Chain A
Amino acid sequence: MNPSFKILFVLIIALEISFTSIVSLNVALIVLAIIYLLAHRVPIKTLAWLLIVPLIPAIGLWSTQYINGTGNNDLFAWVLFTRIYAFVFTGAAFTLTTDVLALADSLEQNCHLPAKFAYGVLAAYNLAPRIKHEVQVIRAAGLMRGQTLSFWSPQLYFKAILISINWSQNLAQAMTSHGFVEDAPRTHFRIVRVHTKDWLLLIGGILLLQVGIFLVPWR
């Protein structure tokens, strides 16, 4: 599916389930997302992590609602619990099966977003591994001067921001030097097309979602 269509679909799902309270629908979405992920050969280990990591906030929400909630607190506790997982798994169904470069290409070519936006995001994404190392360097440098910088130290962020500003300037220069000009026309080597199939999938998916929300008499 076209990456821009895919992200739009996931956003619509997220928006709609934020305003509905149907446990079975959430579960159905989770199951569909898992099937989709398995079909794309996402490792079982990754799926296991997706199940474990949201457990704490999910239980937190569940218990808050269950203990303190008013009215139908039992139902709403489960709605919130499953909703978190629905967000996580539909989100993963997008991120784990979509190439960032393909998304950038599609946003630029199909959605006509400014190239600056598409490539800026892409460049930042590609810098991410180096940022992790840089944070390690900042913390080590701090220790060498007797200062422990924990993850909530303002100084850690101050340094990180200084470095980011510096990097973003260098990156802008590098992009300019490689011929990038804001809002200038560009050619496209990797063409991303919107096929009829993409429209059908998107519209079909949205319709199915409405059927699930408004028509199916869950329980």
Chain B
Amino acid sequence: MASIALKHLSYQYETAQTPIFDRVVTEFPAHQFTLLTGPSGTGKSTLLQLMAGLLPLPKNSGTISYDHVALSSLPVGTRSKRVAMMFQNPNQQFAMDTVEHELVFALENQQIAAVEIEDRIIQALTFVGIQKLQHRQLNHLSGGEKQKVALAVIVAMDSDVILLDEPFASVDPQARQSLIDRLVELRDQYGKTIILADHDYAGYDAVVDHVVQITRDHQLRRLPKTQWAQFFAAFRPQSLPSWPAPAPEPTPLFQLDQVALTQGNHQLLVPTTLQLHAHRNTLITGANGTGKSTLFEALVRLTTYQGAIRYQGKDIQKSRRKRYARHVALLFQDAEAQFFNITVAEELAQSQKYAYGDYFTPAKINDALTQLNLAGRDDQVIYTLSEGQKKKLQILLMLIMQSPVLLMDEPLKGLDLKSINALVTLLKTTLAATQQTLIIISHQLTGLTPLIDYHLRLANHQLQYIGGPTNES
């Protein structure tokens, strides 16, 4: 049961100029697995939140109905039997402390009789294969384990429709595959309807029944099967150019000595000894959830690690925080983490005031703003910028700072091609003058490769340079 019909669905955020959806008409058939696609920022999350009833649908903006019953007329108390949602951020979907308590909470909400609850919990955990996590603290689990728990909660609630919003963003490849296998089993054995939003399409062509795209004209379009081969092929991993591996040097920028990283009880990186080099740009790749961002957090002393990290020969734990932060800065994945003021002009002024070098004169900043299509927004409140604009502003602010080392965590995420090209051009001209060192984590490699000198890959808990040894000595 539970096919979902959208009729003339329109939706627009109050602050936005254009609607996200414009009188969309479509149907998601029951017992089938649909992959919902579209570039970042096109409204995948919004659509799922609307369908789950987490965002209220304003009057006269169409209807969402489950088996011909409008979502708005389904009693709220029984909605979780109909539809449940798994979120992108594994850290913000639990209200309780342990796995068992979260499951109990969900089942109590559904008014399941107390005597039945224990059996349901065991069944759900067994189905997902995580019985051993039953009494564990949620805070101590890895991203992949948390998402498995989230799925177990949905299985226990026995919801007809399962919505998943980019659920694998911090999940390692093995856990991702195991979760996809469970979803397929839920469809085939239990007749669940599954709608999953993702921007990484690898591995879905063999399992999904439908591919639905959110188009530029704010409609939903079902991709005909004949176009699947072409569609999925475009997302096969790109073959990267091969860069030479660096030769060891006596005074590297960073020296990692037996550095190991863990997340809860989960090992991310086995003890690793490695150098990172000054005035070279290093790209770090690796699957989701393998620990790339945690490595950056270790480099800026935001997480604990085993072993020692030395920056220019000095243990980073022994540097003064303030001094070290001026040398090694991190461009956070979440752009808002980097903002401290209200308007664009105030942010720019702050970066200029504390900048490490004087390359960015007011004229250069104006040029950069024009280049990034951010000109004329001086008085705009930062929090009303679009996600793409926030990202571009954040990168510009951190470039103006001119810290000798800039770690960039997914700097191009969610940007369109035009913005990417503008940014890469800006990075090139800036680096030529400022001699900064960039270390970049990125899935998005289009346009970025000309900047890169070395390539580190994090896989199977190992961090290694990819490429042959250099001949220069």
Q: Give the docked Cα–Cα distance between A129 and B87 (Å).
A: 21
User: A55: CB under 8 A from chain B?
Assistant: no
Please tell me if the beta carbons of B337 and A141 are within 8 angstroms of each other in the complex: yes
Q: Are B350 and A181 in contact (CB under 8 A)?
A: no
**What is the 8 Å Cβ interface bit string for chain B, positions 80-98, against chain A (1 contact, 0 not)?**
1000110101011111110
Q: Would you call A181 and B338 a contact (CB within 8 A)?
A: no
Considering the chains assembled together, what is the distance between the CA atoms of A147 and B401 in angstroms?
Answer: 11
Which residues of the partner chain A approach B108 to less than 8 Å between Cβ atoms?
186-189
What is the distance, in angstroms, from A182's C-beta to the closest C-beta of chain B?
Answer: 9
Q: What is the CB-to-nearest-CB distance from B158 to chain A, in angstroms, rounded to a whole number?
A: 11
Q: What residue in chain A is nearest B118 (Cβ atoms)?
A: A189
Contact of B350 among A129, A133, A147, A187 (CB under 8 A): A147
The smallest C-beta distance from A35 to any residue of chain B, in angstroms, reads: 29
Q: Is the CB of A145 within 8 A of B350?
A: yes
Distance in angstroms from B112 CB to nearest chain A CB is 6
CB–CB B95/A175 < 8 A? yes
Contact assessment for B325 and A144 in the assembled complex, using a CB-CB cutoff below 8 Å: yes
Instruction: Give which listed residue, A133, A141, A170, contacts B89 with CB less than 8 A.
Output: A170
Q: Which residue of A lies closest to B403 (CB)?
A: A144
Q: Could you say which interface size class chain B belongs to?
A: 35 or more
The contact string, 1 if C-beta is below 8 Å from chain B, for chain A 148-188, is 10000001000100100001001101111111110011111
B202-239 vs A, Cβ < 8 Å mask (1 yes, 0 no): 00000000000000000000000000000000000000
Number of interchain pairs (Cβ within 8 Å): 147
Asked whether A136 lies within 8 Å of B302 as measured between CB atoms, the reply is: yes
Chain A residues whose CB sits within 8 angstroms of the CB of B104 once the complex forms: 189-190
Return the CB mask of B348-381 against A: 1 if under 8 Å, else 0. Answer: 0011011100000000000000000000000000
* Bound-complex Cα distance A178 to B54 (A): 11
A179 in contact with B157 (CB, 8 Å): yes
Quick check: A146 and B114 within 8 Å, CB to CB?
Answer: no
- Does B105 sit at the interface, judged by CB under 8 A? yes
Could you tell me the distance between the alpha carbons of A159 and B337 in the complex, rounded to whole angstroms? 8
Question: In the complex, what distance in Å separates the CA atom of A173 from the CA atom of B76?
Answer: 13
Query: Which single residue of chain A is at the shortest CB-CB distance from B139?
Result: A129
Chain B's closest residue to A104 (CB) is: B96
Q: Is B321 within 8 A of A122, CB to CB?
A: no
Collect the chain A residues with CB atoms within 8 Å of residue B111's CB. 185-187
Interface membership of B329, Cβ < 8 A: yes
B95 near A171: Cβ-Cβ < 8 Å:
yes
B326 touches A143 (CB 8 A): yes
Question: Could you tell me the distance between the alpha carbons of A190 and B138 in the complex, rounded to whole angstroms?
Answer: 19
Residues from chain A with a CB closer than 8 A to the CB of B114 are 187-189, 191
Give complex CA distance A123, B383 in Å: 27
Residues of A within 8 A of B326 (CB): 143-144, 146
Interface residues on A, range: 35 or more
- A181 to B75 Cα, complex, angstroms: 10
Confirm or deny: A126 has a beta carbon within 8 angstroms of a beta carbon on chain B.
yes
Interface contact A123-B95, CB-CB below 8 Å: yes
A173 touches B94 (CB 8 A): no
Contact assessment for A179 and B110 in the assembled complex, using a CB-CB cutoff below 8 Å: yes
Q: With an 8 A cutoff between CB atoms, is B300 at the interface?
A: yes
Cα–Cα, bound, A146→B383 (Å): 21
Q: Which of A122, A129, A140, A188 contacts B301 (CB 8 A)?
A: A140
Residues of A within 8 A of B52 (CB): 177
Report chain A residues within 8 Å CB of B172: none
Are the CB atoms of B80 and A173 closer together than 8 Å? no
Q: Are the C-beta atoms of B54 and A173 separated by less than 8 Å?
A: yes
B77 touches A145 (CB 8 A): no
Residue from A123, A155, A178 within 8 A of B153 (CB atoms): A178
Residue of chain B at shortest CB distance from A176: B54
Given A174-B92, A190-B104, the answer on whether A143 and B54 have CB atoms closer than 8 Å is no
Q: Is A137 an interface residue when CB atoms closer than 8 A count as contact?
A: yes
> Would B97 and A101 count as touching, CB distance under 8 A?
yes
- A141 / chain B contacts, CB cutoff of 8 Å: 330, 332, 337-338, 340
Encoded as 1 (CB less than 8 Å from any A CB) or 0, chain B from 46 to 66 comes to 000100111000000000000
Interface residues of A (CB under 8 A from B): 101, 119, 122-123, 126, 129-130, 133, 136-138, 140-148, 155, 159, 162, 167, 170-171, 173-181, 184-191
Q: Would you give 29 A-B contacts (Cβ < 8 Å), ordered by A?
A: A119-B95, A126-B94, A140-B321, A140-B330, A141-B332, A141-B338, A144-B300, A144-B329, A145-B401, A146-B326, A148-B322, A159-B340, A162-B336, A162-B383, A174-B95, A177-B84, A178-B93, A180-B105, A180-B109, A181-B77, A181-B109, A184-B76, A186-B111, A187-B111, A188-B108, A188-B114, A189-B104, A189-B114, A189-B117
- List 10 extra interface pairs beyond A141-B338, A143-B321, CB under 8 A: A141-B330, A144-B338, A145-B329, A145-B340, A145-B350, A170-B92, A173-B49, A178-B80, A179-B80, A187-B114
